[in-house]
Amino acid sequence: MSVTAQLRAALSFSQTRTAVLGAAPSWSAAFDQIVSLVNGTGAGQFDLGYAAERTVASAANDDIDLAGVLTDAYGAAVTIAELVAIMIVNKQRDGTANTTDLTPGGGSNFVPGFSAALPPISPGGIFMMVAPGAAGLATVTASTGDILRVANSSGAQNKFQIAILGRSA
């Protein structure tokens, strides 16, 4: 099996002021970063991927076990030893809007770096972290540090999208 990935974060905006005399002054900025990953278990690499639309009940937690419970698109077990990238989109795949916040992190047997709850992801929001270096985002330890919690606030069931890239060693 061979894998490749391209992660992209982009932001652009412009600002225009009211003209006092003549032309209206304007200013703009743009940031566009791309991280390309190839097959392997070292820096700039990954060899395991998981992507899904998941459902979590109102006021409940989705505890995602990164060490041997997830399966990839072909049904093979995904056992992550190092977390490289994660992306959570608080919107259903078909575009249907959610009405509740999602909060990644917290819980027991947590993945290091996700022990405390992170700021909530509001409906339509996106959370993304990428660390392509040799250490990745975090080391995943089966049974004691392998749970990534996604908590749903109360009010409604939430379907969200998640993608996780990792290394087997």
Per-residue model confidence as pLDDT tens digits over 30-62: 999 999 999 999 999 999 999 999 999 999 999
For residue 84, give the nearest of 111, 34, 46 by alpha carbon.
Answer: 46
Quote the domain boundaries for residue 125: 47-167
Domain count, the chain: 1
**Would residue 141 count as lying in a domain?**
yes
48 φ/ψ sector (left φ>0, alpha ψ -120 to 50, else beta)? beta
What is the model's pLDDT at position 78? Answer: 94
**Would residue 38 count as lying in a domain?**
no
What is the model's pLDDT at position 158? Answer: 98
What is the model's pLDDT at position 123? Answer: 98
**Would residue 93 count as lying in a domain?**
yes
**Would residue 137 count as lying in a domain?**
yes
**Would residue 59 count as lying in a domain?**
yes
- Residue ranges for the chain with pLDDT beneath 50: none
**Would residue 65 count as lying in a domain?**
yes
Bridge partners, residue 104, by sequence: 150
What is the model's pLDDT at position 60? Answer: 98
What is the model's pLDDT at position 1? Answer: 80
Question: Which CATH number fits the domain that encloses residue 84?
Answer: 2.60.120
Model-level pTM?
A: 0.90
What is the model's pLDDT at position 21? Answer: 78
What is the model's pLDDT at position 17? Answer: 86
**Would residue 126 count as lying in a domain?**
yes
What is the model's pLDDT at position 19? Answer: 77
What is the model's pLDDT at position 108? Answer: 74
**Would residue 102 count as lying in a domain?**
yes
SS3 sequence, 42-104? CCCEECEEEEEEEEECCCCEEEEECEEEEECCCCCEEECCEEEEEEEECECCCCCECCCCEEE
146 touches 67 (CB < 8 A)? yes
